[in-house]
Amino acid sequence: MARAGLTAERLTQAGAELADKVGFDQVTLSALARLFDVKVASLYSHVTNSHDLKTRIALLALQELADRAADAVAGRAGKDALVALGNVYRDYAREHPGRYAAMHFRLDRETAIASAGVRHSQMTRAILRGYDLTEPDQTHAVRLLGSVFHGFATLELEGGFGNSSPDSQESWTRTLDALDALLRAWPAPE
Amino acid sequence: MARAGLTAERLTQAGAELADKVGFDQVTLSALARLFDVKVASLYSHVTNSHDLKTRIALLALQELADRAADAVAGRAGKDALVALGNVYRDYAREHPGRYAAMHFRLDRETAIASAGVRHSQMTRAILRGYDLTEPDQTHAVRLLGSVFHGFATLELEGGFGNSSPDSQESWTRTLDALDALLRAWPAPE
DNA sequence: GACTTCTACCTAATACTATTAGGTAACTTC
DNA sequence: GAAGTTACCTAATAGTATTAGGTAGAAGTC
């Protein structure tokens, strides 16, 4: 019997593609085994269990997106950088909905700390250098931007914005305009 | 053998409580059957299948939250209303994480249209009356507010804001301040 | 109160997924 | 080519979802 040549990496990659096709929670060891024409038990030589596979997909997605984001903001500042970062998030969610969902798979503390997740907040903080914010306000702004990017991407994927006019692309553009204006005139605490 | 007195409503309610305790995707017919000390097959007299149960929990959550929101914004306007609505969302997510997750369970078109989901966007639009926005800008603002509320609640639940200082309550307050300022000075398209 | 009807809950069977234990044949290494 | 490693296998157990068909407890009728 010829060997399939499985590795944890190939399984992770295939799992990510499957996630984008059928949804992250439909990614099962059984489905992957079928894909590679292999018995399910055989996968346990490469990943420790289903949870491990999902963790690997999450880490892959976090890294892919962090790489794209780093690429996008390099050499940009101010609104330019803000728009670039926002678009990277939204585009990734639309191109890779399964991986995007995977990114929000609950990781245990150590894994999360060692993940590319930390680079995400660092990059968001970096684009705020183009705006005039005090230290604690930077943190608030990082959280606000993260909320908007994630919230918008999620609701758009869910179809929460319907097919109604104006189309969501326009709302997205105006949202980025609004965030830029907000960061330039960040209000003091009341 | 005495009867358990099951109904679709009791199962839905119990499912919602279970979701808050162990997570929405851990809500299974098996777990519910154990809870009521009944065989799994017996549940099929009351719900058509697992998907139906989850749909019912989602609808319950949508309605509960819409009711709370309506209550909160009644008699309020402007920033007052904005803060009240935002707090209702965030508090509900923290008190009922399982139900909050259930709300984002994918509903089919008809079910979604008949759900309390539509009241949510109506209420968000209502609080914008206190601000001076043109018609299409209102839609953009509704989407932005929805994104922020949902994104913040989700990231906070996930622990995405860490335990780091400043604490997330402060970021939340400042986020609401920022949104109010933004809506009062909504930028024109560029 | 006996008789019928209804239905809430049951048993039994099938199917899919996850996981572990232990075996065999295909590669690797020397 | 022999020895050792391991990729993949079979077999077994367990949890969950679903359907088909049976039984006993409740409700309604006379």
Q: Tell me: the pLDDT tens digits for A6-15?
A: 999 999 999 9
- The CATH number of B8-184 is 1.10.357.10
Q: Which nucleotides of D are covered by protein (CB under 7 A)?
A: 6-12, 15-21, 24-26
Distance CA A77, CA A132 (A): 13
Distance CA A32, CA A18 (A): 8
pLDDT in tens, A82-96: 999 999 999 999 999
pLDDT at residue B1 in the model: 55
pLDDT in tens, B34-55: 999 999 999 999 999 999 999 9
Distance B42 CA to C10 C1' (A): 8
Distance A35 CA to C24 C1' (A): 24
What would the mean pLDDT of B16-37 be, rounded to a whole number?
Answer: 97
What would the mean pLDDT of B114-118 be, rounded to a whole number?
Answer: 94
Above 90 in pLDDT, residue B164? no
Nearest nucleotide to A51 (CA to C1') is C18
Which chain A residues are closer than 8 Å to B146 by Cβ? 151, 155, 160
pLDDT at residue B116 in the model: 96
Long-range interactions of B21-24: CB distance < 8 A, separation 24+: B21/B98, B22/B98, B23/B97, B23/B98, B23/B101, B24/B54, B24/B57, B24/B98, B24/B99, B24/B101, B24/B102, B24/B105
Distance CA B12, CA B8 (A): 6
The 10 Å Cβ neighbour count of residue B10 is 14
Which residue on chain A is closest to B159 by alpha carbon?
A106
User: Confidence class of residue B190 from pLDDT cuts 50, 70 and 90?
Assistant: confident
- Answer whether A100's CB lies under 8 Å from B130's CB: no
Distance CA A102, CA A106 (A): 9
Q: In B74-189, where does DSSP find H-type helix?
A: 78-95, 97-102, 109-114, 117-127, 135-158, 168-184
Map tokens 């059984």 to a residue.
A30
pLDDT at residue B27 in the model: 98
Low-confidence ranges of chain A (pLDDT < 50): none
Distance CA B106, CA A152 (A): 16
User: Confidence class of residue B145 from pLDDT cuts 50, 70 and 90?
Assistant: very high
Phi and psi at B132, nearest 5°, equal: -100, 85
Q: Which sequence spans correspond to the domains of chain B?
A: 8-184
Phi-psi region of A27 (alpha: psi -120 to 50; beta: other; left: phi over 0): beta
Strand C proximity list, CB < 7 Å? A 1-3, 28-31, 40-41, 44, 48-51; B 1, 3-6, 38-39, 41-42, 44-46
- Answer whether B75's CB lies under 8 Å from B51's CB: no
Structure tokens at B61: 């959550």
Nearest nucleotide to A5 (CA to C1') is D7
Map tokens 């702004």 to a residue.
A141
pLDDT > 70 fraction of chain A, expressed in percent and rounded: 99
User: Confidence class of residue B151 from pLDDT cuts 50, 70 and 90?
Assistant: very high
Q: How many CA atoms lie within 13 A of B104 on its CB side?
A: 21
Distance CA B13, CA A3 (A): 50
Structure tokens at A39: 């018995």
DSSP labels for A82-143? HHHHHHHHHHHHHH-HHHHHHTTSPPPHHHHHHSTHHHHHHHHHHHGGGS---HHHHHHHHH
pLDDT at residue B179 in the model: 98
pLDDT at residue B165 in the model: 80
Residue B127 C-alpha from the chain's centroid: 18
How many Å from the N-terminal Cα to the C-terminal Cα in chain B?
72
Above 80 in pLDDT, residue B135? yes
Amino acid identity of residue A56, one-letter, is R
What would the mean pLDDT of B110-133 be, rounded to a whole number?
Answer: 94
